[in-house]
Amino acid sequence: MASRFPILCICLSPFSLSMFCVSVCQLMQRSCRQVTLLAAPSRYWSSIPVAPPSLQPRLLLFLSQRFHDIETILSWSSWFKNRGLRQKNLFAGQSEWFRSDRRGKFNWDFMNHRDTSIEEVDVSNTLINYTGLENLVKQRGLCTLSVSGCAEVDDWFLSRLHIFQDTLEELDISNCPRISVGGLAALQKLRGLRRLDVSSLPRLQNPGLVAILLEEMLPHCHVTAIGYDHSLIYSHTQTDG
């Protein structure tokens, strides 16, 4: 049997896209045996004069449901994106660190002040995640951390914040779509926390209750939780007499 990774042997230049599809279809014949569908995509491609550089998502979905190989390609692409994410994290973490507020000093000369600790870090709206915290681990004197709007910050990130448990005073985790109650429970270790912002966390089902529980858990901390709809929902039920 020929190799099961036919895609690797095929050149993916856009000019040969139609040839690509035909040869891909040939090879998939052996794995999928759906001949009737082959004719349709190959005719589709040959009618387009210039192959589009990005495939339509719907067509991709259609194809991926029928051909295992395309499914593999798509999962590779998401795996590459994850890897890219990890690489970006290092840079994102570091570049924010360069620009952090160090008591008014412009820090192009941060290298000379390596031993002074950083007090405030603002990495809002970046791709920082759990591994990105590696860069911040050394900063024992961190007082303020803002990760508002970071799409990759999740509960594991919060559980790792225990490194700053003695010094962290202000934490802003608003608008992070991946945080849920389980991660907020991990904030109990931050005993020095004075201000916590948990506004607009989409995954919280009972934001009012969670805000109250957080205030109980961290008695000296002021919890801000805006951006939620706290109104009661009335539902009318019809009862049959």
Partner 1 sequence: MILSLLGRSALRPNRNNNIFLNTDLENQFKAFREKAADAMPGSDWTPFEKNRSLPPERADIVIVGGGVVGWSIAYWLKQKEMIRDGVRVLVVERDPTYSQASTVLSAGGIRQQFSLPENIHLSMISADFMRNINEHLSVLNEDPVDLQFNHSGYLFLASEKVAHIMEENYRTQRYAGAKVSLLSTTQLKEKCPWINTDGVVLASYGLENEGWFDPWMLLNAFRRKAISMGVYQCFGEVTGFRYTTNTMTTAEGDTVDFRRIKYANVQMPNSLEYQPVECAIVVNAAGAFSGKVAEMMGIGLGLKDTIAGIPLPVEPRKRFIYVVHCPNGPGLDTPFLVDYSGVYFRREGLGGNYIAGMSPEEEEEPETNNLEVDHQFFQKIWPHLAHRVPAFECLKVTSAWAGFYDYNTFDQNGIVGMHPLVNNMFFATGFSGHGLQHSPAVGRAMAELILDGGFKTLDLSAFSFKRIMTKEPMLERNIV
Residues that bind partner 1 (CB under 8 A): 4, 22, 26, 29, 33, 35, 38-39, 42, 61, 64, 68, 71, 74-75, 78-79, 82, 130, 155-156, 158-160, 162, 180-186, 188-189, 191, 206, 209-210, 213-214, 216-217
DSSP state of 154: B
Closest CA to 101 of 161, 144, 158, 147: 144
Nearer to partner 1, 26 or 95 (CB): 26
Min dist CB 218 to partner 1, Å, is: 8
Cα distances from 193 to residues 71, 154, 157, 239, 240, in angstroms, run 46, 19, 17, 50, 54
Nearer to partner 1, 51 or 186 (CB): 186
Min dist CB 44 to partner 1, Å, is: 13
Min dist CB 78 to partner 1, Å, is: 8
- CA separation for the pair 187, 218 (Å, rounded): 9
Nearer to partner 1, 155 or 172 (CB): 155
- CA separation for the pair 64, 119 (Å, rounded): 49
Min dist CB 64 to partner 1, Å, is: 6
Nearer to partner 1, 160 or 194 (CB): 160
Q: What sign for the dihedral angle of Cα 170, 174, 177, 183? A: positive
The Cβ of residue 198 has, within 10 Å, a number of other Cβ atoms equal to: 25
As given in the structure block, the two tokens for residue 120 are 């405030």
Min dist CB 107 to partner 1, Å, is: 30
Nearer to partner 1, 100 or 218 (CB): 218
As given in the structure block, the two tokens for residue 110 are 């941060």
